[in-house]
Amino acid sequence: MGTNVSVWKCKCGAHLKAVTTTDEGQAPVSLQAACPRCGHEQTLTANQILSVSEEKTLVSDSTDPESVPGGD
């Protein structure tokens, strides 16, 4: 059994993380992971979805000058 982590940005702006498993003896299938904030679905290929969560610190907006030290 393998454990996989997928991350993506939902259409509502939430940064999401899904933890899935894939069994070596079974062919993976398409599963739907729903955003906990808005319910929009993302297709994942796995045998089982263990969790889907919103991540608050996955990505910082490096295009924002306020987020870069000395980027006044």
Q: Give CA–CA dist 46/44, Å, rounded.
A: 6
User: Which residues span the domain enclosing 27?
Assistant: 2-53
The answer to whether residue 58 sits within a structural domain is no
Structure pTM? 0.72
The answer to whether residue 64 sits within a structural domain is no
Q: In percent, how much of the chain has pLDDT > 70?
A: 78
Residue type, 36: P
Instruction: Give tens-digit pLDDT for 14-40.
Output: 999 999 999 999 999 999 999 999 999
Q: Give CA–CA dist 26/24, Å, rounded.
A: 6
The answer to whether residue 40 sits within a structural domain is yes
Quick one: pLDDT at residue 71? 47
